[in-house]
Structure formats: C-alpha cells, structure tokens
Amino acid sequence: MSVETENQLVKKRKSAYQAARVVAGTIADHFKRHVMAARERGEDGLAFPPDTETIEAAIDAAFWASLRHEEGNSPKISLAFLPPEQTVQPIILEHPLALNPSTLTKLAPAVERPGIHFCIWTDGGELRIWGATRKVPSFCFVLEVIEPGLLVIKHRRLDGFGKFANVAVLKGRRVKIIDEKGTSLPDCPALLAALLAFTSPSEWSDGHNSVNLLVQLAASMREHGHGGSLLVVPADNDAWRESIVHPIQYTIAPSYTGLVHLLGQEVAEENQNLWEASIRKAVDTVAGLTAVDGATVINDRYEALAFGVKIRRAGGSAPVEQMVITEPIVGDVAEVVHPAHNGGTRHLSAAQFVYDQREALALVASQDGRFTILAWSPCEEMVHAHRVDSLLM
C-alpha cells in the first residue's frame, strides 16, 4: 500500500483506534487548562496546547505504528507537538512527512534513545513530521510508544527538570487518566504530604524539590529493571535499625552524600545543564544500589546509609495483616487486601517495615515494571500501598 493511499484511509476512518476518540477531548482539556493557568501566572515560553482532532490523529497513528515491526523490532517513538520556532537546534526536514503508521515505523530507530522526539505540527490542515529535537517547551504535548499497544501521553514540567509528568496511559482498549488532583487518595493530610507529589505535576515544579528527587529515584529504580526496594527513614533517629537483620553486610560509611551536596548548591543559569546531569548521575548511583538483593536505606536528607539489607519484623510487633491499595487514576476505588496479595516477598517485607516504622516510606519496584509507594496512613490505621507505575513510564 502506498503512503498516499494510507493517508487517505487514515482520513476516512477518522481514528480506527477507538480509545483515541474516547480520550482525546479529556487530554485536550488538560493541556488547555494547564497552559492557561501558567499564562495567568505570567509564565512565558509555553507550548501551544493541541486540539482534540490533533490529539486523536497523533494517538491513532502512533498506536498502529506500535503494532508493526521494522527489521524484527517493535518501534519506540516519541512525538512532540510544537513548531520549529519553539525549540533550539532541531533537525529540520526539507520536506515534512505525513504522520502515518508507515512513516513512523520506518523512522522510529532515529528516536528510540531517551530524550529525542519527532516534532509534529499542522501544515495545510494535516499533521506532519517536520524534524526532531531534544528541547521542548513547558507543557509540550508528548506522546511516547513504550511497547506494542502501550502509549503514554505526558508533558514537560514547567521547570524542565527531571521526568516528564504523565497525563494518560493507553494500553489496548484500556485508558488510564492520571488523577492529578489526588481525589483517589483518602482524606488524610499526613498521607497526602507523602504521596500527592507523586501524583500531581504541580508538585514537581521545583527542580530542587526533595519530593521531585524521590520521583527521579523511583523512575531510575524502575528503569534498571532488576526490581528493588528503597526505604526512606527519618534522619533524626535510628529506630529503623530494629526492623533490619544484623549485621548489615553493606553499610555505607561514611554515608553517601552526593545528592545532598548537589541539592544544596546554588545553580547559575549557565550551569543548569551541568547541574541537572550531575543530579541524574547521583540519582542513578543511589537507584543502582537497589538492584542488589535486599533493600537500600536512605534518610530523608537523601544520605545513602546501606544497601542489600534484610527486613525483619521488629521485636514485639505483630505481623502486618492488611493494607489499602489505591492507584492515582480517575475513578479508582480503594481496596483492602492482605499484603501477600499485592506481590511477592519484597512487597510483604516492605509492608511490614512501614507497619513497624510508621515515619518511613518504602518504594518498591517489581521486575515486571510495577511500582508501589508504601506509607503508614494514620487516618485508616493501616499501611497504604500507592501503585504509581502509570506515573513512571
């Protein structure tokens, strides 16, 4: 089938991928709302929000491309909606290409490395690929093909540092809209303080924000693919040691303070890129420790204390018998289960640790990509497991 014929069929079918039609309006509202709010705050350098038809067409083309193969490989693609004047040093095609599955599949190897996006924009009423770039403006619509049938829609955060904020996840017929307002969380201030920032892009706006750093650590843990646990404990007491098997084989002495040092730096604009690269390296260093069997321990000042530790039930404590599970997705319903039903030994031991050490957080990555944040909920008087893998893709 020729590209011209395929383009005609794409126009006629008006999004054969039904989920694109269902979700496009909601996503368009999201981008319009965020860009308008940023403009009212006096922000500049903002992306142009895409309309419903643009979003539907982009999702449709990307979905069908994701199901194809080029030289035996499934395409991994990132599309960004912006004109040439809104980026820096892009690769610009002399002749823009029609946005369709064939073109995307053929060109996919050029942007399969992280951070590179195909640039799309409307030309003569049609979406076209005009080039590629690494730099996109704040709140820029980005669509990533993760694997066959799995798409993630996201945007660049206002300060531009760290992981993009996810807006929606589409897998086959299933659509998940991220609950950025935290309405899926229980009305419990102490728990909200710990978990809302993983959900709400507005909480990720400061590159020096310590919770944003937890998001970066979580994303890096998920990315290494080995699974792992990260325990975040209070810096002002050692009660957590009661829940650890001794002796600790891999104690870090003195504690690793690479993240602390970088977070405390005053960063000039001309050194911003260098500082961000240093943060990423330090984050990957700490997250890499979680790939070792056992848990990694850091304190809430982001000093790494130990890794490969084994969790045990604290003396005099009862076994954890139940916990509540939520996911930051619009329409999610909380479910109370036994911790053993939420995963294997890693999840169960993390739930016991949080049950015993109620000021701590546990971040748990599974090899299959699932990611859970566990915290004690004083309102519900049980461990709360917050499934956040939809935020970290």
Neighbours of 354 (CB within 10 A): 27
Give 50's strand partners.
none
Q: How far is CA 199 from CA 56, 72, 150, 388, in A?
A: 24, 36, 20, 8
Amino acid (one-letter) located at 266: E
Q: Of the candidates 355, 223, 326, 324, which has an alpha carbon nearest to the alpha carbon of residue 280?
A: 223
How many C-alpha atoms does 111 have within 13 Å on its Cβ side?
28
pLDDT by residue, tens only, the chain of 393 residues: 444 444 444 444 456 899 999 999 999 999 999 999 989 999 888 999 999 999 999 999 999 999 998 777 888 999 999 999 999 999 999 999 999 999 999 999 888 888 899 999 998 889 999 999 999 999 999 999 999 999 999 998 766 666 788 899 999 999 999 887 666 666 665 555 556 556 555 544 444 445 478 888 988 999 898 999 999 999 999 999 999 999 998 999 999 999 988 888 887 777 877 888 888 899 999 999 999 999 999 999 999 999 999 999 998 899 999 999 988 888 888 889 988 887 788 999 999 999 999 999 999 999 888 899 999 988 889 999 988 888 887
pLDDT tens digits, residue range 129-182?
999 999 999 999 999 999 999 999 999 876 666 678 889 999 999 999 988 766
Q: What pLDDT was estimated at residue 340?
A: 80
Lookup: tokens for 189: 């201030």
Q: What pLDDT was estimated at residue 13?
A: 45
Whether the Cβ atoms of residue 178 and residue 328 lie closer than 8 Å to each other:
yes
Whether the Cβ atoms of residue 336 and residue 322 lie closer than 8 Å to each other:
yes
φ, ψ for residue 71, nearest 5 deg: 55, 40
Rounded CA separation 104/128 (Å) = 11
Rounded CA separation 136/118 (Å) = 11
The DSSP string of 318-366 is PPP--EEEE-SBTT---EEE-GGGGSSHHHHHHHHHHHH-TT-EEEEE-
Is this structure's pTM higher than 0.85? no
189-392 CATH, one of 3.20.20.70, 3.40.1700.10, 3.40.50.300, 3.40.50.11030: 3.40.1700.10
> Phi-psi bin for 369: left (phi > 0), alpha (psi -120 to 50), beta?
left
Q: What pLDDT was estimated at residue 379?
A: 83
Q: What pLDDT was estimated at residue 5?
A: 45
Residue 109: asked if its preceding bond is cis (omega within 30°), the reply is: no
Lookup: tokens for 256: 């690793």
Pairing mode, if any, of strands 361-365 and 371-377? antiparallel
Q: Of the candidates 333, 332, 330, 328, which has an alpha carbon nearest to the alpha carbon of residue 23?
A: 330
- Could you state, in order of their start, the residue ranges of all structural domains in the chain? 3-177, 189-392
